[in-house]
Each structure stands twice: as C-alpha cells, then as structure tokens.
Amino acid sequence: MDARVASICCRSLSCCASHQPVQLLWLSSEEHFRSRNLNSLLVCKGRSIHSPLYRKSFQHLLFARYSSEFQPNAASSKRRGRGPAMLAMKGDREKEKEGGQYKATVDLPQTSFSLRANSVVREPEIQSLWEANKVLERVSEKNDGSTFILHDGPPYANGDLHIGHALNKILKDFINRFQLLQGRKVVFVPGWDCHGLPIELKVLQSMEPEARKELTPIKLRKKAAQFALKTVEQQCRSFKRYGVWADWSKPYLTLNPEYEAAQIGVFGQMVLKGHIYRGKKPVHWSPSSRTALAEAELEYPDGHTSRSIYSAFKIVHVGDNFPESLKNFVPALGVAIWTTTPWTIPANTAVSVNDNLQYAVVQVHHPSQTSLAEDGSSKVGTRTKKIGNGLHNPDLQYLVVALDLVEVLESKWNVKLEIKGTLPGSALEHCRYVHPLFQRESPIVIGGKYITTESGTGLVHTAPGHGQEDFVTGQKYDLPMLSPVDDEGNFTEDAGDFKGLSVLSEGNVAVVEALDKASHLLMEEPYAHKYPYDWRTKKPTIFRATEQWFASVEGFKEAALSAIANVEWFPPQGENRITAMVSGRSDWCISRQRTWGVPIPVFYNIKNGEPLMNPKTISHVQEIIRQKGSDAWWYMGVEDLLPEDYKQEAEHYVKGSDTMDVWFDSGSSWAAVLGTRKHLKSPADVYLEGSDQHRGWFQSSLLTSVAVQGSAPYKKVLTHGFVLDEKGLKMSKSNNNGIDPKVVIEGGKNQKEAPGYGADVLRLWVASVDYTGDVLIGEHILRQMSDIYRKLRGTLRFLLSNLHDFKPESDTVNYERLPMIDKYALFQLANVLDDIRESYECYHFYKFYQLIQRFAVVDLSNFYFDTAKDRLYVGGTKSFTRRSCQTVLVAHLLCVVRAIAPVLPHMAEDVWQHLPFTHFLKDGSRCHHVFEAGWPQTDAHWKSLSKDDVEYWRTLLQIRTEANKILEAARGGKLIGASLDAKVFLSTTNEALLARLAQHTTEDPDRLCRIFITSQAEVLASVNEATSLDVKYTGTSTLEGLGDLWIGVSKADGSKCERCWNYSVKVGSFENHPTLCERCQGVIRHGAGLGAKCETAVVAV
C-alpha cells in the first residue's frame, strides 16, 4: 500500500480534548481512490486497516485536490511535545512527580464550547433561538440592500422528502444566507404543488372499492386537499430541521384560493391575447390514467420493444408528375411503408414522402433457395422476424421504396429487389392508393425533412389523428383526422371489426394479422426503441387526437426564445437544453380530464357544444374562486358561475369538467407569488431546481410569463443533478440503497450503524459536491464529512478557548506593531476570505468547502496554531507576544465564523453564543447572533504586506518543511524526542535570503526557533561553514529559484526549562528559579500577568 504518513497534532485542532498526537493516514495511490470528478472529493474506497495499531492511531482523512500542498506541511508535529499545557492538565499526582510547581502560571485554553457537537440536541435548540428572536426577519428588515429573490420551486405534496429535496433546499439556503450576510433583504417564500393526479391516485388507493364508487368530485377534492395539507405540514417540519430559513408561516400552496385566482388570472390574460384555443389534436394520452399528458409527465424507460411492420398499399392512380416510363408498372405497383404502431393503420389517411429524396420502383424476386423456414420465419440474432404474405402478392410485385434503402430492404426481406426505374419524391405527390383494410382511397403527399432513410422505407404511413408530424402534414393537405380509439385505449366502432380491442395489446395483433391475411404485410419484426410511458402508472401511452385546450406556443415562441437568451443559465449548457426544448415544442395541451385541480373556466352551449369563455366570464369565476376556492366550480350552479349579463342564458350552458395541467399551476407562481407578495416581484433573481425542470417548471414558468408579460420570470437559472449512491447507482427501494435525510440528521434505529450527524454535516456534504452534475452520497462519504466537520469545530474551539481572557477593546495590538508572523497570518486570512466570498458569489460551494478545509488544516492547524501555542500558554498572560497572537485569533474567529455561516449555520451560531467577549455592531448595539454581524469586512492593512514579504514567508514555510524532515530523522535516530530537544542550523547559497533569515533570530514570535518549534536555531554564514560542523543529521535541498539550502539538527544547547520545556544555557543561572529559562523567569518575576504594554486598537472585522 502506497501510504504516506502525515501527522497533525490533535491539539492544534481540538486543543485540550486529547493530547495524543493523532496521525492521519494519507493514501495517495490512485487505486485507493475513486475520483468523482475534477472538483470533488477523492473518495477512499474504504479499505480497512486491519492492524490494531493502525486502527488505534490512524484515521482516514480525505483531502480535496490540494492534498499535494498538504503533504509538505504535514510532517510536523508527531514529535512536538507541548509540555506545560499538557502537564497542567494531568492529574495531580503526575504533576507533582513531573514538578508542576509553575502550573498555575500556564495560560490554559478555556471554553464551554465543546468539541462534541451533540447536533441532534443542540441544532434544534439553535433553531428555536432563531425562531424566538425572529433573527431572519429582523436581519432582513435591518439590512439596507435591495431585496434578493430566490423563488422556490414547489415540490409535490405527496410523500416523504428524499435526499434530492434536501440537496435542493439546502443549496437554496446557502444562497439566501450568503445574500443576507451581504446586507440584502431576503424574502424566501417556500411553496408546494398540491394538485394533480399523484395525490388523486393516493386518495383513491387509500379507499375501499365500495367507498370509491360513492365518491363525488367534491368529496374526492376534500380528501385530496386534506392529504396535501397533511403532507405539506410533514415536509415543512423536515425542511426546517435542515436549517433552511424561509417564511414557513406563510408558504404558497397551489390549492390556496388566492393562488388559484392568480392562476385563473394568468389563464385569462392568455385567453385575452389569443394564446388559448380549443382544438382536436393528437396528444400524449395515457389509457391507464385516462387523461392527456404533457411531455413532462412522460418517461422513456429502457427495454420497450414494439411490433414493427412493413406493409404495402396498392397504387390506383398516379399524379401528373409521375414519370411516363414507369406508368406500365402501376397495375401491380404498391408503396411500401414501415411503422412501429400497426394499430394506427386503421387511421391511415395518407402516405408521405420527402420531395428531396430519390425513390425507386423495384421488382420483387424471390431467391430459389430460401433460407426461411416453412412458416416464413427466421431468426436474426435473438429477434424473430416474420415474412408476410404481401411479398407474394401478385398485385404488389412492384414496390416504391427509397433508392438508398434498396439494399437494406433486400437483406431484411430476404429477396432480390430489381430496380426498374427511379423518380424524385415530388413525382409521387398526388398519386392515390387504396387502404389495405378499408375500401377508401388516400393520397401520397409531401411530408418534410422528418422523412429520412435512416430506417423504414423512406415512405411514411400517415395518421394525422395519432402523430404530431402526421397532424402537421394533415393540416397542410386537409387530410381527414381519424382517431378511432376511446379514452381507455380501445378501438371504437369507427375501426370496424377491431371495435373493442385494446390498441396496445390484442388490437395491435389483430391489425397485423388482418394485413397479412389481406396479403399487404411484407414483414414483421420486433423493434426496440424509446417509447413514452406514463410516469405515474408506468404504462405505455399513445398518441391520440381529442378535443383539448391548448396554449399556442407558436404564437409566442420567438419571444420565448429571445427571453431564454436573456437569462443567465448555470451550468451554461442549460441554455441549449431549454432552447432546444422550446423551439421543438408544439402547442401546449393544458387540459386534463381529472378532478383534483384548478378548473378551466369554460362553459359549453348544450345545443352546439360551442365554448363560452371571455374576459367577463373568466374574471367572474376568478373572483368566486378567490373568495371560495376552486371547489366552488364543482358545487355552484351554472347560473351563479356566470356573470350577470349571461345569467338569463344559464340554462343553455353546462360547465366544463376539465382541470388545468398541474404544470400550469406551478408555472403561474411568478404571478401568484412574486406578483402578489410584499417585497417580491418578477423577475426573480434566481430559480434553482433539478436539471429535469428544463422541461418542467422552468419551461412552464417561462411560457406563461412570456405569454402574459413578454419576458422570463427569472434572471438566472441554476440546476443541480440527481443524488446517486456511493457506487453511482440510482437510489431505489428495490436497490435498498436510499439515504434518508432524516436518518442522516437524527440517526437510524441502530445509532452505531447510523449515527445522527446533524443537519450541518448533511449541509457540509451539499457544499462538498459539484452539484451541477449527479452527486454521490453514502455512509462512507457521510463519515468523512463528519470528520471534516469535527476538524472545523476544533479550529473554532481553539480560537474560542485561547481568547477567554482577551478584551478586544483594550488588549488589541495595533496592526503596525504586530510581528511579521502575525501580519502574514492576517494576510492569509484576508486572501482566503476573498476567495470564499467569490466561491459563494459564483455558487461554487465546493470551492468554499476546499478553501475552508485547507485553511483550517494547513494554514492554521499545521502552522499558525502550532507555533502560537508556545506564546499563548507560556508567553505570559499579558505579554505582548500573547496579546498580538490573540489579536490575530480574534480576527480569525470573527471572520471564519461568518464565512462558514451560510453552509454551517448551526455551528456558526453555536460559536457566536460562546464568544468570550461582546461584539458590537457599527451602530454601537450588541450583536447577539452571527447573522446580525454581516459578512466580515477585512482591514485594508491586512493585505498591505509587500510582495517581497509574502514571497519570503512562502520560502520560510518551505524551509520549515525541509527542517521538519531532518527533525523527523533525528527523532527516528533517538537523538531527540520532542522537537524542543533540538537545535536547528541552516544556511543557504542565496545571500539575500541568508541576510533575511539572520534577522529572525532576535524578535520572539518571529524567531526561527519559534517557527520551527525547536529550542534554538542558528543561521550560519555560509554553506561551507555549515558542512564543516560536526552535526549528525543534515540535509541539502534546493529551494525553487533560490539556490541550495542546508539544514542540520543537533541536540539543543543547555538544559530543559521546567515551565516551557525549551532548552536554554541560562537554565540554572537564576537563583530563585533554578529550573527556569530566561523567558520564564522573567514571566514569573513580573507575575505571569505582566508583560509588554499593549495598545488599544479597534478590531476592524
């Protein structure tokens, strides 16, 4: 196993919870990881480490792609011994044994903020705190920025939430909380989609068959509403538990009367603008649900196989353009067609050709030795094909097929097709053929580009009642639109002998058999392809012409396309998806033959069926619905539903029974929510939903909005992918691989196997994934998230615990006087804050996740905190070095806690409630909650570090890494134990660097030994001098662009100070404190509380 060992002192993260150095096993070998994609985690496949030794002292840790940067700094502190603090916290007996007389002078970290989050209990407490103090409302009201509007897409109110819902709402919450910190007002109104078939079906399924018969529309609607409201309540509780901030007391529900009224208003506007019409058109029809379906209600499962047939129709007349030379074939000439829906043959009213294709008249010759079995069947792979009688029909010895397909068809039909002549498609127009099953003539017509030679024969069987393209061609030639199929998908009497047969089963078979019997079937074979299924019943649908209400997308398609171009799509490929969908969209069928929905407010004349619907009738119904809800449509009489002017004629009308497509419901939310709620308006700043909504809510919202107000209802549209399990498989009940967000947060039945991680760990996972594609989740990933969460918590705990005695107003050290190491730490803080802010602004939350993790582990824990402990614990309570360090820690605390707040709001608030000092807002008022504090404004000074200084510190950190390697070797060779036992020598061939290094030896926190955490460090004037020294552990390395570096490690000079464990030659020279070094005796002599005088400065963060 290619495993490199990195180590991090646990104390640098957890401070005093445990002082056993925790080592992190860093698996670098590619094979141990599965890379999700460029930006996401490397997921360790979870090889367990079997050695008990490993298990005890090693933990897995995931690092994102900066792990290569992690490596150099990592080998740092296994060897660190931070004596005093450790000693002071040990049991009394041990303290005496180890001589703890100075323990009271050590400044131990103190905080009640525990390392253990106890999220299952603590998070709800924090949520109650927010609710009781109306934090969201108050902060939003106080913020002076403009209102930020993220408009919520309504989930269906028909079941428990799944992990996809959690991903969606948590992403929205990141955005809202970030905007709130940026000073914007945030009004987030959550919504629910409450109408529609799924709920209707749930109600029906929950009832006994007898009770179902008794069900009136009104009873059904009451039950459906109860079911929806109950579900809304349950889902609402879950969303709140995720820590999602919203106006939960006033959500929008599509069943609310005011919502329904606004929706009727949108519909009325579209009627007024002439975009709504009634017509007989083929629509996707679900026989199993007995209703029309929208494109968004279809799915295309794998594995559908149709019975496809080749059939020939005999030509009886030729058109004017038919070539003279081919006319003598006509008595025995047929047109060959191919279809995957034989049941549509009874509705055939034309054959279409492409006028740009070349066609051939071919003669059918049968090979003398047939490879077919006697019954005419043969096996092609595993698929059975059947040759029909049509190939032996003397009336059809000549066939018209596309020239390009002659060879293909020869092999398919197992015949020789002799080309007798060719002709362009246009020459076939106005020829007439006789229907193979019914005695009626139909024309050959010019279809369009949709007719190709990719499959079939190049001639298309056309049934305008059963296909979209067929319908368009039918309109062009005024073809009859036959659709002899009823609501249940059975043939009607118009289909003659086929009456009563189901078109999707026995009806289809009967048509094929009839064609064969009539000697018009050339061949039949199974054909696997994508076929639309009803997404709810999982049964196949058909195309069927019915009387429906349509929104004429054609009427505003150009406007819709230009609106799309004005919206910002993220990820950008979303624009192509929705553009293609809208430009290919035929008119939108908006009527449904269901009960649980908003009625189409139309009346029909009893005598002639003419619809009555105009602005007057619509606004009358709209007002009734606003006051009484849409139930009124069902329980009120026509007389009352009609406005005054029409009441006299009420007896001549009936009310329509269709409801609107639920996509029209949710697609009207820009009007019903953004258009009616205080502070909101259309267009919204952001819509954010799953990528399947390009054909769902994004589109229905766009279409209604463009139709009514001429523009899109959103400025920006973000999409996220689906959540898959750790192996990348779709979650399903049958796979038993679902991850329930409730269990993630609160834990499962077996808390050992499924511990409750709390909402913040779930949220951290959401931040960690590149949500623009599909994302993975599983137990292993969650455990990693929990580890990283704990590390961040440890970082914040270190900050809190070392500020227990710090008063920002009096103890802060002015920036100018800060040591270099502190200035450099602030420089890094300022930069990481900029980067984090940018990652939030660009919605790249995974970048936030990587940045904060790297910052906490590499920059803080491994370096700054590691070096800071010396001065914090033993530097003297009020010493300058301790106060300057605390000045930096305060800045870090106040910045980091706010930077993580959008993603980890519970932890951030928990930290805020444990602040050891009071934070005041600009107006002098006390800041009680982290979100009141706003986004941290960094001090301009922090970035004022010169380029030279920055470069120098980067070099110094490289040198530190190299020094650590030699120290590690010395420790391995038992020369030293802890790093404080050592003295480091260094030299370099680079003179400028050498001079700069020499400067470090004087001022305390910047002294090289403090940075290396050794007792001494000596810079030697030349490498020659260095190599002549008698030092056992040495190493030479090359610093990038800066020449050679030489490092040596020997045992430290002098003796070990009892208090700080640093070695000094001065130990033993102080009469009253013979066991102390010069620093410690100074601290003790002046009282631990006395140190350099501090200046007052304002912490501007």
Radius of gyration of the chain (CA): 39
Least Å distance, CB 874 to Zn ion, is: 6
Of 469 and 870, CB closest to Zn ion: 870
Taking the complex as a whole, how short is the minimal distance between the CB of residue 1052 and Zn ion, in angstroms?
A: 12
How big is the site for Zn ion, counted in residues (CB under 5 A)?
5
If the CB atoms of residues 982 and 1057 are measured against Zn ion, the closer one turns out to be 1057
Burial group, residue 813, by CB count within 10 angstroms (0-12, 13-18, 19+) = buried
Q: Closest CB to Zn ion among 658 and 1004? A: 1004
By residue count, the chain amounts to 1101
Q: Which stretch binds Zn ion (CB under 5 A): 207-215, 560-568, 624-632, 1056-1064?
A: 1056-1064
First CA to last CA distance, the chain: 46
Asked if 806 contacts 107 with a C-beta cutoff of 8 angstroms, the reply is: no
Q: How far is the CB of 99 from Zn ion (least distance, A)?
A: 13
Report the nearest approach of Zn ion to the CB of residue 1031 (Å).
25
Both structure tokens of 291: 């209703």
Q: Give the type of residue at 412.
A: K
- Nearer residue to Zn ion within complex by CB, 107 or 469: 107
Residue 1077 touching Zn ion (CB under 5 A):
yes
122/1059 with CB nearer Zn ion: 1059
Stretch that binds Zn ion, among 41-49, 791-799, 951-959, 1059-1067 (CB under 5 A): 1059-1067
CB of residue 1001 to Zn ion, shortest distance in Å: 18
Give the residue with the Cβ less far from Zn ion, 535 or 1012. 1012
Tell me how far, at minimum, the Cβ of 1051 lies from Zn ion, in Å.
17
- Using alpha carbons, select from 583, 357, 581 the residue that is nearest to residue 459: 357
CA-angle at 624, arms to 621 and 628, nearest 5°: 140
* Contact (CB, 8 A) for 59 and 47: no
The DSSP letter of residue 814 is P
Taking the least distance from each CB to Zn ion, the nearer of 362 and 1077 is 1077
Q: Quote the CA–CA distance of 971 and 981 in Å, as a whole number.
A: 10
Backbone angles phi, psi at 318, to 5 degrees: -110, 155
d(CA 25, CA 7) in angstroms, rounded, equals: 8
Q: How far is the CB of 1059 from Zn ion (least distance, A)?
A: 5
Minimum distance from residue 1090 beta carbon to Zn ion (Å): 16
Stretch that binds Zn ion, among 279-287, 325-333, 737-745, 1054-1062 (CB under 5 A): 1054-1062
Q: CA-based diameter of the chain, in Å?
A: 131
Q: How many CB atoms lie within 10 A of CB 376?
A: 17
Cβ-based nearer residue to Zn ion, 1011 or 1060: 1060
CB 952 within 8 A of CB 990: no
- In the bound state with Zn ion, the residue whose beta carbon lies nearer, of 959 and 1057, is 1057
Nearest CB to Zn ion, comparing residues 901 and 1057: 1057
Q: Say if CB 448 and CB 473 are below 8 A apart.
A: yes
**Could you give the CA distance from residue 144 to residue 999 in angstroms, rounded to a whole number?**
49
**Contacting range for Zn ion; rule: CB under 5 A; set: 523-531, 803-811, 962-970, 1075-1083:** 1075-1083
Q: Angle at CA 328, nearest 5°, toward 324 and 332?
A: 135
Peptide bond into 572 cis (omega under 30): no
Stretch that binds Zn ion, among 329-337, 410-418, 668-676, 1051-1059 (CB under 5 A): 1051-1059
Rounded to a whole number of angstroms, the minimum distance from the CB of residue 838 to Zn ion is 44
Take residue 47 and report the two structure tokens written for it: 């090889």
Tell me whether residue 304 or residue 1066 sits nearer to Zn ion (CB atom): 1066
Of 496 and 1087, the one with the shorter C-beta distance to Zn ion is 1087
Among 613, 660, 911, 1057, binds Zn ion (CB under 5 A): 1057
Residue carrying structure tokens 């103890």: 811
Each residue 1002-1041 as x (binds Zn ion by CB under 5 A) or -, in order, gives ----------------------------------------
Nearest-angstrom CA–CA distance, 564 and 66: 38
Closer by beta carbon to Zn ion, 115 or else 1060: 1060
Residue 241 or 871: which CB sits closer to Zn ion? 871
Segment 417 to 436, residues that bind Zn ion, using CB under 5 A:
none
SS3 779: helix
Residue with Cβ nearer Zn ion (991 or 1053) = 1053
Cβ(277)–Cβ(549) below 8 Å: yes
Rounded distance, CA 795 to CA 776, Å? 27
Could you say which residues in the range 181-220 bind Zn ion, by CB under 5 A? Answer: none
Which one of the spans 139-147, 613-621, 893-901, 1055-1063 is the region binding Zn ion (CB under 5 A)? 1055-1063
Residue 107 CB, shortest distance to Zn ion, in Å, is 14
Per-state percent for the chain, helix, strand, coil, to nearest 5: 45, 20, 35
From residue 960 to residue 999, the character string flagging contacts with Zn ion as x (rule: CB under 5 A) and all else as - is ----------------------------------------
Give the shortest CB-858-to-Zn ion separation in angstroms: 29
Instruction: Write down the least CB distance from residue 76 to Zn ion, Å.
Output: 22
Distances (CA, A) of 632 to 214, 225, 640: 20, 14, 10
Q: Crossing angle, helix 880-899 and helix 820-841, to 10 degrees? A: 0
Tokens representing 671? Answer: 């009007």
Cis check for the bond before 599: say yes or no (omega within 30 of 0). no
Angstrom distance (rounded) from CA 703 to CA 691: 17
Note whether 725 and 741 are within 8 A (CB).
no
Query: Which one, 896 or 1080, has the nearer CB to Zn ion?
Result: 1080
Question: How would DSSP label each residue in 342-360?
Answer: GGGGGG--EEEE-TTSEEE
Question: Could you say which residues in the range 387-406 bind Zn ion, by CB under 5 A?
Answer: none
Q: Is the dihedral of CA 541, 544, 546, 549 positive or negative?
A: positive
How far is Cα 686 from Cα 463, in angstroms, rounded to an integer? 43
Nearer to Zn ion, 560 or 1057 (CB): 1057
> CB of residue 1062 vs Zn ion: minimum separation in angstroms?
5
Choices 76-84, 352-360, 432-440, 1050-1058 (CB under 5 A): range interacting with Zn ion: 1050-1058
Task: For Zn ion, give the closer residue by CB, 471 or 880.
Answer: 880
CB of 184 to Zn ion, least distance (A): 52
Task: Return the range that interacts with Zn ion (CB under 5 A); candidates 48-56, 152-160, 495-503, 1080-1088.
Answer: 1080-1088
Interface positions, 762-801, toward Zn ion (CB under 5 A): none
- Sign, Cα dihedral of 942, 946, 952, 954: positive
Distance CA 960, CA 652 (A): 93
Minimum separation from the CB atom of position 784 to Zn ion (A): 40
Minimum distance, C-beta of residue 817 to Zn ion, in the bound complex (Å):
24
**CB 1067 to Zn ion: min, Å:** 8
CB of 821 to Zn ion, least distance (A): 19
C-alpha to C-alpha distances, 951 to 73, 947, 1013, nearest whole angstrom: 17, 6, 21
By CB under 5 A, which span of 87-95, 262-270, 1032-1040, 1077-1085 interacts with Zn ion?
1077-1085
Stretch that binds Zn ion, among 164-172, 368-376, 693-701, 1071-1079 (CB under 5 A): 1071-1079
Which helix (DSSP H) or strand (DSSP E) does residue 775 occupy?
A: strand 775-776
Contacts with Zn ion, residue ranges (CB under 5 A): 1057, 1059-1060, 1077, 1080
